[in-house]
Amino acid sequence: MYYNKRPQVNFTALARVVGVLLLIEALFMLIPLVTCIIYGENDYKAFAITIGITALTGALMRFSISPSNPEMGKREGFLLTALTWVVFSIFGMIPFLIGDPKMSISDAFFETMSGFTTTGASVMTSIGHFSKGIHIWRCLMQWIGGMGIILFTLAVIPMLNHSGGMQMFNAEVTGITRDKLRPRISQTAKGLWLIYVILTAVLCVLLWLGPMNLFESVCHAFSTMSTGGFSTQDASIGAWNSAYVKIVITAFMFLGGVNFALLFKASTGQIGELWKNEVFRTYVYIIGVMMILFAITIIANNQVHSWESLTIDPLFQIVSVLTSTGLIVGNFENWGGFVVALMFLLMFFGASAGSTSGGAKIDRMIFLVKNIRNEVYRCLHPNAICSVRVNGKVLPADVVNKVIAFLCIYVILVVIGGLILTAIGIPLVDAFFSAFSCIGNTGLGAGVTGYGGSYDIIPDVGKWVLSLLMLMGRLELFTVLLLFSRTFWKK
């Protein structure tokens, strides 16, 4: 009997594309290198060495590997997507190892994975003394990861349209259904990135017009549009104590939580499509309801110190948590336990699918609520045929089933992560909050990792667990879980 001994996964084609991606990462690293040179910082050596290592490795993989079959299918698409985020984090952490922070491998990988997945959790207890090169690299990582590493590659390497491009697009772009704006994946990727770049540039200019200098404006434009949350100050946005900065960043965090396909349509004159979209309306309603609840709780806890503390500050924090940005304006735990509970709920929701935000996504919450309503109705009318309809479209049963499976797995992973953290000595509430925050790519901490603290307190084992949760949350579980399935590796 003849057995096909060819590998089931085209690893040579994968390695070649990873080489191209590493060359792209090396190009991005030129930005912090130039920043260090401009400001006369010694960390330019760390970035120069990192660029050399990354570019050399990428060049060897790109030009020394010649696959007999350059085509990549569905398996290669999923594997490449997950592998790319890990590889980018491995090479991206080198400046943290040899530069001024001098981190351990566990800390450096956690910080880098937190950056690329736009989680914003940090092991740094204080960031004010680090070089501007390190600061801009932290924020740039979030900006790259916000719209997606693979999506950027699809925009600049058209050949991937015929080589697993659709699988990679589906594996990385968040949501249940993915809207193609153009017939070709590369055109859709370019359209999405164009909106992303324009919004980032506009935000940078607006922040520069306020109390921030140019460098601070660039960093916060990167971390805000990506809904990442890294800042250049220990006190985050609260360091500027500016209503103008809070309002501007709130507005762009909100935009970062909107489906970018909708923003693209709005940019072409179809502004009415925004309010017609059921998910967008729900997104606005959630913010409105939460604003009322936050205001009532702040008043009840005697935390009204100014008009900002009752209006701008809670709105900022609501949008920041809902979009998984994680920027803060103060110690929100002072607002009371009910506010913390509401923020926990917002972290679970997340914003819209197809945005740069994390969380389970409002889309899935809508599908779940409508499906529950149908099941309750069937209890009274067992022969009734009910369907889940969103934006006037009926969702197939398999999509609804996948949403339910996603939410169940999401909760299970939070429980597993929380249990592991408690087993290594982290307090119960802090452990589950940290696991929930990381899988939702929010990055907020509570208790020992909360305001004034950092994830530095987490033991190394916990940091690797949380790093995996961050990756799974950013790639929406299934892309990573597939790699642990025996079926994936079989023909």
Beta bridge partners of 40: none
Q: Which residues contact 484 (CB under 8 A, 6 or more apart)?
A: none
Residues for the chain: how many in total?
Answer: 491
Which residue spans within 289-418 are E strands per DSSP?
A: 389-390, 393-394
Beta bridge partners of 389: 394
Assigned token pair, 115:
């950056």
The identity of residue 137, as a single letter, is W
Are 14 and 83 contacting, i.e. CB atoms less than 8 angstroms apart?
yes
Chain centroid to CA 11: 27
Written as tens digits, the pLDDT of the chain (491 aa) is 444 444 577 778 788 888 988 999 999 999 999 999 999 999 999 999 999 999 999 999 888 877 666 677 777 778 888 888 999 999 999 999 998 888 999 999 999 999 999 998 888 888 878 899 999 999 999 999 888 776 766 666 655 555 455 555 555 555 544 454 444 666 777 778 888 999 999 999 999 999 999 999 999 999 999 998 899 988 888 889 899 999 999 999 999 999 888 888 888 888 888 888 898 999 999 999 999 999 999 999 888 888 888 899 999 999 999 998 888 887 777 888 888 889 888 988 888 888 888 888 898 888 888 888 888 888 888 887 777 787 777 877 778 888 888 899 999 999 999 999 999 988 888 889 889 989 998 887 665 555 445 788 899 999 999 999 999 998 888 888 888 888 777 76
Residue 297: in which H helix or E strand, if any? helix 278-300
- Torsion angles phi and psi, residue 381, rounded to 5: -130, 75
Q: Global pTM? A: 0.89
